[in-house]
Structure 1
Amino acid sequence: DKFAWLQDDEFACQALAGVNPVTIDGLQAFPPVSNLDPAIYGPQESALKEEHIIGQLDGMSVQQVLKENKLYVLDCHHIYLPFLDKINALDGRKAYATRTIFFLNSLGPLKPIAIELSLPPSGPDQSAAHVCSNDARVRTHACMEPFILTAHRQLSAMHPIYKLLDPHMRYTLEINALARKNLINADGVIDASMFKSWRFDKEGLPADLIRRGIAVPDPTQPDGLKLLIEDYPYAADGLLIWSAIEDWVRTYLKSWHNESINVGHADLRQESWWPTLTNGDDLVFILNTIIWLASAQHAALNFGQCPYGGYVPNRPPFDEKW
């Protein structure tokens, strides 16, 4: 359907299974609040009010849907608002900082119920312009570079860990070099925003889903957590891949564990290149996370760019004012 991009269902589907399915968060309070300086960027609280969404909550109150984990948000407001003056100063260009609110009803898929478009320092608008709510986040190439450099500098090419990681490190540095001028450049949107919240121990899929309010811990489930949005392909399929990577890494490490403990690198085994690991599970988690970011998550965030972004109306990089 060449007009599917116009439909609310498709817009919501792409938030869960499109080119950027890692940005949606569980909404913990309504209206949303930013952490930007109000003296520079205006009111921190969203202009969205209860009356804007109450008619689309299937008869439930806002507090009730928050309690039952039925409201979700794509919040790009605090990330993009500081850069809008520079973007919109370009001839014929128009961009917004957005907040998109989704409602998870019991009978159907996730659906968008409000989109807020903000400009500094004037007041925001509400709009159903799906194209203005698309964004992307560099979560694979930029954050992998330190691990790749460290592996090349500190590990022998014959080291079992190097051999395990090498296929997943290929070409990343070359791509980063090309992107450094404009995508991950100093003082750019990624440099100014991503580092504030990035933590390696939260980048593994289970921890990321819990952090974003998309899942809750549940020891009765195979992966130790329960998805709050059942129809979330990135998460559901991703957990299967995460577990498969973990099994493979654990099996691989066991195959050379005795030699590494009792023999090691002879003249180099006492070098302190990494904080001391107290058990094998820590090493499994570290390697599992690195491989996940470089392979499965990289594929989810990058390989859909052509089919989703190649049709410009579906995901335009900017809006042009006519």
Structure 2
Amino acid sequence: MSPIFLPRDNKYDWMLAKMWVRSSDFLVHQLVTHLLKTHLLSEVFEMAMYRQLSAVHPVYKLLMPHVRFTIAINAKAREKLISKDGIFSQVSSINGAGMGKLIQNAMKTLTYESLCFPEDIKARGMEDVPKYYYRDDGKMVWKAIHCFVSAVIKTYYRSDKAVQKDVEIQEFVKDVACFGMNNSDNFPKSLSSREQLVEYLTAVIFTASAQHAAVNFGQFDW
């Protein structure tokens, strides 16, 4: 068991303890919450979209504005930020091998449900915490995206069977799970209803837009 440090301990012990905690929190935030769970996930969805959906497919048109340029941004990040001699290795307390290990460990617990904002909030026991504005604002954004996606999907798919028979959609979802997520059982490999498709696409768009905004744009103030 790790030692517990308190404000009443030696001045410099307490200072160093706080520094270690903040450093560790920074690493998890940047490499897991930010890089893995928004940038790299969005890249997985974008790659599957390019491989499996034709450019005239309505879902391609729906997703494109939200994932466009993610691959280019991530390529630059791999080159400049998280490479062996990149900026992250120079200014943080972790090296290239350590970064990879941290992300790989996080991948083991990454699930599709964790991308569905209401489910994630519930799973973390944060439904009733007062003044939790990330939850309150996030739920409104999720609902708005879900409503928009639902209207689009119901325009193009008249029934659940239409979703089941759409080979491109089924291959898109399978590509994400089998190739992007390394054949993970934590991600669906097929969809059987319009509602499932709506939720799936809402999760993709929310991850690439609202979730990224939440964990990226407030970093300077944080």
> Shorter-chain-normalised TM-score: which range?
0.5 to 0.7
What residue is the counterpart of 1:300 in the other structure? 214
TM-score by length of 1: 0.48
Equivalent positions of 1:184-223 (< 5 A) are: 187-189=97-99, 190-215=102-127
Give yes or no for contact 1:184–1:191 (8 Å, CA) kept in 2: no
After TM superposition, the structure 1 = structure 2 runs for residues 44-55 of structure 1, keeping only pairs within 5 Å, are: 45-48=1-4
1:281-300 equivalences under 5 Å are 281-300=195-214
Unpaired runs of 5+ residues, structure 1, are: 1-44, 53-112, 115-124, 216-226, 309-314, 316-322
List per-residue Cα deviations over 1:37-77 (Å, max 9, x = no partner): xxxxxxxx34238xx5xxxxxxxxxxxxxxxxxxxxxxxxx
Equivalent in the alignment of 1:161:
59
Q: Who is 1:183 aligned against?
A: 82
- How far apart in 1 are the matches of 2:115 and 2:75? 23
Q: Which has the higher strand share?
A: 1
Q: Which runs of 5+ in 2 are unaligned?
A: 85-95, 175-188
> Partners in 1 of 2:148 and 2:170 — Cα distance?
26
Distance 1:188 1:166, change over 3 A: farther
Deviation for aligned residue 1:162 = 0.4
Q: Give the AA of the match of 2:124.
A: R
RMSD of aligned alpha carbons: 3.4
**Which structure's relative contact order is higher, taking Cα pairs within 8 Å and 6+ residues apart?**
2
3-state SS of 1:214 partner: coil
Residue 42 of structure 2 contacts residue 204 of structure 2 at CA under 8 Å; is this kept in 1? yes
Deviation (angstroms), 1:262: 6.2
**Aligned residue in 1 for 2:150:** 250
Given that 2:66 and 2:205 are in contact with CA atoms closer than 8 Å, whether structure 1 keeps it comes out as yes
Partner of 2:179: none
The size of the alignment, in residue pairs, is 179
What TM-score comes out, normalization by structure 2 length?
0.68
Aligned mates of 2:169, 2:124 — CA distance in 1: 37
Higher helix residue share: 2
Amino acid at match of 2:4: L
